[in-house]
Amino acid sequence: MSNSAQSRLTSHPSHLRIEGYASLWGVADLNGDVVQAGAFAESLARTGAGGVRMLNQHDARAPVGVWDEMIEDWRGLFVRGRIEDWSAEARFAGALSRAGALDGLSIGYRTARARRQGRLRVLSGVDLWEVSLVTKTVRSNMVKPCRLLTPIPATVPLRRRRAIACADS
C-alpha cells in the first residue's frame, strides 16, 4: 500500500530529514485495500517508530535510515525520519530523494484485522513492518506527488481537500 510522499526534505551534513504521509485514511489503493483510521495504533504502541524500518523500494537487505516519529492524525499516518549516509544504498536513496526521483512512501505490513466491503478490503488492524521510499505508488488517485503538509481543516469537503493538497505539486 502506497501513498505520495508529500515530503519535505531538510539537509544535514550526515543525513537528510524527510516527512510525509505513508498512508491516507479511506483511500483505496490499486489492490482494493483501504486503511481505516486507527489501524496502526496497536502496532505502533508495541514497536514505536523505532521498530519500523526505513527501506528503499521495499528492499529489506539494507535499511537506508530511521523513522523518528509516526503519528496517526485526522488525515492518515504521518511519518518523520532521517535518511542516513551509513551505506552506499543509503547515500543513493538520499541522492535520489534530493533530486526528486524518490517522491513516494509505501508501507509494508501484515493485516491483523480486515473486512470485505464490496470489492474493497477495509483494514482496521495493521502490523506495520516498514515504510519505504519509492518511485511509484499504488494509489490510484495520486498521479502527481503532492507536497502540501500543512493541515487542511476537516470542515473542508474531502474532494476539495484533495484538490488543495495537490495544488502545490
Say how far apart CA 53 and CA 72 lie, in whole Å.
17
| 38-53: b (≥16 Cβ within 10 Å) or e | ebbeebbeeeebeebb
Say how far apart CA 63 and CA 86 lie, in whole Å.
10
pLDDT at 122: 96
- Residue 117: pLDDT band with limits 50, 70, 90: very high
In the predicted structure, residue 42 carries a pLDDT above the cut 90: yes
Q: Stretch 138-156: mean pLDDT, rounded?
A: 41
pTM to 2 decimals? 0.74
CB atoms inside a 10 Å sphere around CB 145: 19
Residue 118 Rama label (left phi>0; alpha psi -120 to 50; beta):
left
Q: Stretch 127-138: mean pLDDT, rounded?
A: 84
- Residue 168: pLDDT band with limits 50, 70, 90: very low
Q: What is the mean pLDDT of the chain?
A: 79
The bridge status of strand 65-72 relative to strand 76-84 is antiparallel
pLDDT tens string 59-111: 899 899 999 999 999 999 999 999 999 999 999 888 888 888 887 899 999 99
